[in-house]
Structure 1
């Protein structure tokens, strides 16, 4: 055995710093960027041989660019450290780009920073393990195994100068030759830079910590200090109880209520008084953006994450006006919007019924809501706003979301390696999550129907949608400017009890009259507060749905 080890040591390949830098640049520029090069091929204005030449030129630019950078970073004592870091970062970012069509952006880094163990575990699969072995571990082992060839400092410096000029000349020359084509492609498709590994992960991480990372120990800015409730019309008027369900990863086009061919809403479709809005767009394409945005009071185009994270929002204003506000969670958190209101701890016996391996079915929300309402004193007259945060259709482990009896469509993709499933299997398993959401929402309405001490209302809206392979994209989180409708077109619906409708028939008729109008998360903040009879200067009537009818 000792002789074998010594033989292996003797047969180690010896390479100069310059050659090892070039080979590393070649691996990163080509093999870790195949998805980017394929995208360039799709966008190229050429065909045939010229298109191949354009893609080859693009690969040469990437190789030369990384080789140029390595001339400054790679020395005998640093080359392996730098190489290992870039191979690991680039290898895993390339997996998500090539396998899931995910563009690495500061928003995706934000999602990663705010995820929990259960969500992270859902991304693990045999496919990513194989990728990690072949595309990450193997190159890293080879890099570490190679022996660095000794050379004089003067000779190394001379080589570096030559390589710097050569790499710069290649980059400048190719960009000059194809300038018009590159300018057109990147001007119209700015976000594809999120496909270039590993710069996508590195640049996005720096951008996240510079612009998006939450600032600690900052005072919360008061917002809506003037908030108050309108006086009741009579002392016999029942208080309001509104349940707002924040959905997760549900897209409008998969709801049969919106015209989808498959019956994904078998229960809600029987609710005669349901008010379903068909044209609603989200504030973002990921929970970390959409949830704070929709509660912030800022329209999407003016939304500022730093302001939202440091300022009170919708729930604070409702609470100041006199509502008892409660958040009941079955997701990875409320992204800061519920920090100053009651966060209901789901009883242990309910968790035992619905939860396993760190995850709970959304039925836990129905039981938790029922338990919460049951413990409200009979003589309690305080109005209430209760928010339920679903697990919904969160991927890629869609098969984990519904109970077995709601897995209506077969065959389904019963794995989190969704890229390996057929189109039919993937759509079926996603649609099954919508069928289960339909049941959960219907159960909320049925519970509210039984409440006699309140005027009850129900509002459901998803935080964002989901891609299931359309145009090679999976999951969500695409930059909004290029996000497909599957990620931004979300379902939204309301329901009101007879007591609520009898007290405010004009409101309900107004809502029914705008179900086909273009609406968005921008409408949530002012419209919900108005439905709750809350007044404040923070309410922008331009986004208040009810104002459209009052005008």
Structure 2
């Protein structure tokens, strides 16, 4: 035997399986979940000693539940396997729950599976490494020094029966004593269980694969097959060209256009735009919002499985005769652009705007749009819908989402371990990313303004918002039912060229009347099709921003 192995064997301490399971249950139930217990303490109806008793009862219930589970699955031959699995999963999920306030749900699992290497690297930090050493590596090392004592099967079963009975007794007794309080708390805060590690990650992963994972070889469902463009009485020599910019992680409350005290929109504020101040997102993460907003389904009725294999907005626009192009500076279109042209960004632009890891500043979208327009044939008579997908304010590395000329707010948080930055630094870093988005959007509008071959239009809206420490939450992806407004209240604005306004005066006038109305992603599908003069029976008129006031305009006339 190697010397190191012999030394390790000498260091090993013998421990019974009952002791091993109890220690593991305490680690999983108590040590990893202080964020959950802190939340429970905030929600407790008691004060003083009663509050401490309620909190203590909650700790015992969680520990006893894990202990009961371990009696069923953890035997001498399987104990260390399950323990290692739970420690790794629980330790990593606890970091995001306890340090960033992230709630682990099936949507978060979907985000994880659909993210790319660049986004994943942004999550790594010194804090995460230290956390991993303490809460993952250290317990695994301790586990290696423990040797589980050999016991007869009969003795193991007897001990497991006793421990299971004790665990059930504690669980039933304490839940009975505090039933009314637990019922009230968990009825109002159903997603609290998603803060308990490692069950949150395990349960959410199983739920994702059962309910949300895309199924292969499902037939494509046609949608809007009757789509066609309604030609005006006097056809224009200038076809329509609409640029739809899908923002990333921008929240409305950080736009000075919406009343934010810091001037985050110095360039857009000087342009003739229509700013919509009361808009909400379909989801709190890209993996949900992006397919939803293009699907033709409203948020409350959104069926993710159906959206995965049904045609959407871009397919309908293409069927109606529009040349549809997707230009991406993010982690992909989540299936929404699979059947339309996907512009390949030239290598020269990547060298200009991207770093060594392949992460690019959003001005690459401006140059890509200019390159795309430059290469259109001069006698082109096709109408165009171009979608630009931003990197935007994607966190936690907000400091990467802007460059020096667009960083007026100092000091900044120059780290992706954002929970370690001061509130001022964190907000400055995020706000600077909005300032840079303001510049990018303004440059896109200026590019369209200079193009006289088309009636040009511009529509910007973010996929979801972002939490930057409010209510102890960071990033995004909270369950929609409990998500703060920072994650659901999004910016949206439009701009139209003089030619578009001249030839579509009623459209623009109609939109101007709705700048302060309550709107959402639900309005994108029908309203964009109407703006593009596309008619189809699948348009729900109640969410069509143009249909909403068309009668009022006619009555005025």
In 1, Cα distance between equivalents of 2:57 and 2:502: 70
TM-superposed CA distance for 1:217, in Å, is: 1.8
* Contact map agreement 2:282 2:522 (CA 8 A) in 1: yes
In 1, Cα distance between equivalents of 2:6 and 2:273: 77
TM-superposed CA distance for 1:4, in Å, is: 8.8
In 2, Cα distance between equivalents of 1:120 and 1:452: 42
In the TM superposition, what are the counterparts of 1:196-345 in structure 2 within 5 Å?
A: 196-271=196-271, 273-345=272-344
* Contact map agreement 2:406 2:436 (CA 8 A) in 1: yes
TM-superposed CA distance for 1:519, in Å, is: 0.3
Consecutive unaligned residues in structure 2, runs of 5 or more: 552-557
In 1, Cα distance between equivalents of 2:296 and 2:113: 24
Deviation digits for residues 352-371 of structure 1 (CA, Å, limit 9, x no counterpart):
10011120000000000000
Deviation digits for residues 416-439 of structure 1 (CA, Å, limit 9, x no counterpart):
000000000000000000000000
Which 4+ runs in 1 deviate beyond 6 A? 2-5
Consecutive unaligned residues in structure 1, runs of 5 or more: none
In 2, Cα distance between equivalents of 1:35 and 1:111: 22
TM-superposed CA distance for 1:11, in Å, is: 3.9
2:46 equivalent in structure 1: 46
1:511 equivalent in structure 2: 511
The TM-score normalised by the length of structure 1 is 0.98
> Is 1:89 the equivalent of 2:100?
no
Question: Which shows bigger deviation, 385-394 or 70-79?
Answer: 70-79
In 1, Cα distance between equivalents of 2:492 and 2:6: 68
Deviation digits for residues 492-538 of structure 1 (CA, Å, limit 9, x no counterpart):
00000010100111111111111000000000000000000000001
Deviation digits for residues 345-402 of structure 1 (CA, Å, limit 9, x no counterpart):
0111011100111200000000000000000000010000000000000000000111
TM-superposed CA distance for 1:7, in Å, is: 5.9
* Partner SS, residue 311 of structure 1: coil
* Contact map agreement 2:11 2:145 (CA 8 A) in 1: no
TM-superposed CA distance for 1:239, in Å, is: 0.3
1:155 equivalent in structure 2: 155
1:379 equivalent in structure 2: 379
> Is 1:470 the equivalent of 2:464?
no
* Partner SS, residue 458 of structure 2: strand
Deviation digits for residues 281-308 of structure 1 (CA, Å, limit 9, x no counterpart):
0000000000000000100000000111
In 2, Cα distance between equivalents of 1:433 and 1:244: 20
* Partner SS, residue 359 of structure 1: coil
TM-superposed CA distance for 1:412, in Å, is: 0.5
TM-superposed CA distance for 1:5, in Å, is: 7.1
1:14 equivalent in structure 2: 14
In 1, Cα distance between equivalents of 2:264 and 2:233: 41
* Contact map agreement 2:16 2:149 (CA 8 A) in 1: yes
Deviation digits for residues 158-217 of structure 1 (CA, Å, limit 9, x no counterpart):
101111111111100000000000000000000111100100000000000111111112
In 1, Cα distance between equivalents of 2:227 and 2:547: 18
* Partner SS, residue 18 of structure 1: helix
2:136 equivalent in structure 1: 136
TM-superposed CA distance for 1:231, in Å, is: 1.5
The TM-score normalised by the length of structure 2 is 0.97
TM-superposed CA distance for 1:9, in Å, is: 3.0
Number of equivalenced pairs: 550
In the TM superposition, what are the counterparts of 1:65-84 in structure 2 within 5 Å?
A: 65-84=65-84
Residues 161 and 387 of structure 1: CA distance in aligned 2, closer, same or farther (over 3 Å): same
Deviation digits for residues 198-257 of structure 1 (CA, Å, limit 9, x no counterpart):
000000000001111111122211000000000233244410000000000000000000
In the TM superposition, what are the counterparts of 1:30-45 in structure 2 within 5 Å?
A: 30-45=30-45
Residues 7 and 325 of structure 1: CA distance in aligned 2, closer, same or farther (over 3 Å): closer
Deviation digits for residues 408-458 of structure 1 (CA, Å, limit 9, x no counterpart):
100010000000000000000000000000000000000000111100000
* Partner SS, residue 191 of structure 1: helix
Residues 112 and 223 of structure 1: CA distance in aligned 2, closer, same or farther (over 3 Å): same
* Partner SS, residue 93 of structure 2: helix
1:457 equivalent in structure 2: 457
Taking only aligned residues, the RMSD between alpha carbons, in angstroms, comes to: 1.2
In 2, Cα distance between equivalents of 1:217 and 1:360: 34
* Partner SS, residue 326 of structure 1: strand
2:537 equivalent in structure 1: 537
Residues 494 and 150 of structure 1: CA distance in aligned 2, closer, same or farther (over 3 Å): same
Question: Which shows bigger deviation, 422-431 or 46-55?
Answer: 46-55
* Partner SS, residue 549 of structure 2: helix
* Partner SS, residue 241 of structure 2: strand
* Partner SS, residue 155 of structure 2: helix
